[in-house]
């Protein structure tokens, strides 16, 4: 039996040789901390479906399961385990309707209704994003969904109905890998910090003046840890994004701004990402607690039509 974590790590003797151009600039060199997670994920097996790894620390394409059919408890439990492990699950050729979409999502918890993006389907829990030459996409920035809620989404399930010939991909970034890739001094600095999240940064312009006071009472500013602990895996994940994180508490305004920009930008590291190329009836289920996402807005004026169901999560801790 090994006597230390270093002896348990087959990569502990490899040189890291990772450097930064500036104290808070981009890394250069190998993201060697991904090796253990890559090897752990490669060993996973499931009885209810097959899977293929997409990235070294996140992402799996799932096959051998039909989401249009009722799921057994074992299948649901294994899909939940896979979501926690891979953080992003990709299903191809799932010709489900809106009712089946909602029923699938309900296996994993109570569903959200979004106060600023009203449903335009027959299901209040299902939001349709319909982009065209008249309505462009503005989701092309790294973010977690609805962190301005006291209990942000556990996850979201997005179904592609109509996709452009080229473009419109969605990128996902592993925020546990991003946290582990920080300098130890930075991790120590941020581990006990909290941040204010506010819907006004993104949705304030959509609220009519007569409704502003009512909406603020319903959705006050919330405080979440800068680094949250995943409730099912215990992994530590960065939980700061430039869309909804207004400020970091306990530091100067200048340091707050710098940290929000710096930590929010860690998702842009390609080593932490996967990129999903959408096809009709592709369905993606992501763990909002552990990843940020970015919808590439490079397909205008072509059409892109998606439907999303989001699952209510826990209060970050």
For residue 287, indicate whether it is catalytic.
no
CA distances from 75 to 164, 211, 308 (A): 32, 44, 21
CA distances from 98 to 42, 153, 222 (A): 33, 20, 32
Catalytic residue among 197, 230, 293, 304: 293
For residue 289, indicate whether it is catalytic.
no
CB 162 within 8 A of CB 305: yes
Catalytic residue among 145, 174, 198, 287: 145
Q: Whose CA is closest to 54, among 36, 34, 66, 38?
A: 38
For residue 72, indicate whether it is catalytic.
no
d(CA 124, CA 106): 13
For residue 198, indicate whether it is catalytic.
no
Q: Whose CA is closest to 114, among 104, 125, 106?
A: 125
* 3-state secondary structure at position 145: coil
d(CA 278, CA 285): 13
* 3-state secondary structure at position 253: helix
Q: Whose CA is closest to 245, among 184, 181, 316, 182?
A: 316
By CB atoms closer than 10 A (0-12, 13-18, 19+), residue 100 is middle
Catalytic residue among 143, 197, 224, 230: 143
∠ CA 274-266-17, rounded to 5° = 90
By CB atoms closer than 10 A (0-12, 13-18, 19+), residue 24 is middle
Residues assigned a catalytic role: 143, 145, 293, 308
């Amino acid at each position: 039996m090994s006597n230390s974590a270093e002896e348990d790590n087959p990569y502990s003797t490899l040189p890291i040789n990772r450097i930064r151009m500036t104290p808070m600039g981009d890394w250069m060199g190998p993201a060697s901390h991904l090796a253990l997670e890559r090897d752990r994920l490669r060993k996973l097996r499931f009885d209810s479906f097959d899977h293929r790894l997409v990235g070294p620390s996140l992402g799996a394409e799932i096959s051998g399961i039909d989401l249009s059919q009722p799921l057994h408890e074992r299948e649901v439990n294994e899909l939940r385990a896979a979501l926690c492990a891979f953080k992003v699950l990709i299903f191809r050729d799932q010709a489900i309707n809106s009712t089946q979409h909602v029923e699938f999502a309900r296996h994993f918890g109570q569903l959200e209704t979004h106060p600023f993006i009203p449903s335009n389907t027959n299901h209040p829990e299902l939001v349709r994003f319909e982009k065209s030459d008249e309505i462009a996409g503005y989701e092309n920035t790294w973010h977690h969904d609805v962190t301005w809620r006291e209990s942000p989404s556990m996850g979201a399930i997005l179904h592609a109905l109509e996709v452009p010939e080229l473009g419109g991909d969605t990128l996902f970034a592993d925020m546990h890998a991003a946290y582990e890739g920080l300098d130890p001094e930075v991790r120590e600095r941020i581990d006990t910090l909290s941040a204010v999240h506010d819907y006004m940064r993104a949705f304030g312009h959509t609220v009519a003046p007569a409704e502003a006071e009512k909406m603020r009472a319903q959705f006050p500013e919330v405080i979440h840890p800068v680094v949250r602990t995943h409730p099912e895996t215990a992994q530590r994940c960065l939980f700061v994004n430039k869309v909804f994180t207004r400020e970091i508490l306990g530091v100067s305004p200048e340091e707050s701004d710098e940290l929000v920009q710096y930590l929010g930008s860690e998702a842009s590291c390609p080593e932490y990402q996967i990129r999903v190329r959408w096809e009709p009836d592709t369905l993606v289920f992501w763990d909002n607690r552990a990843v940020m996402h970015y919808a590439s807005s490079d397909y205008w004026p072509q059409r892109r039509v998606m439907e999303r169901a989001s699952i209510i999560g826990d209060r970050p801790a």
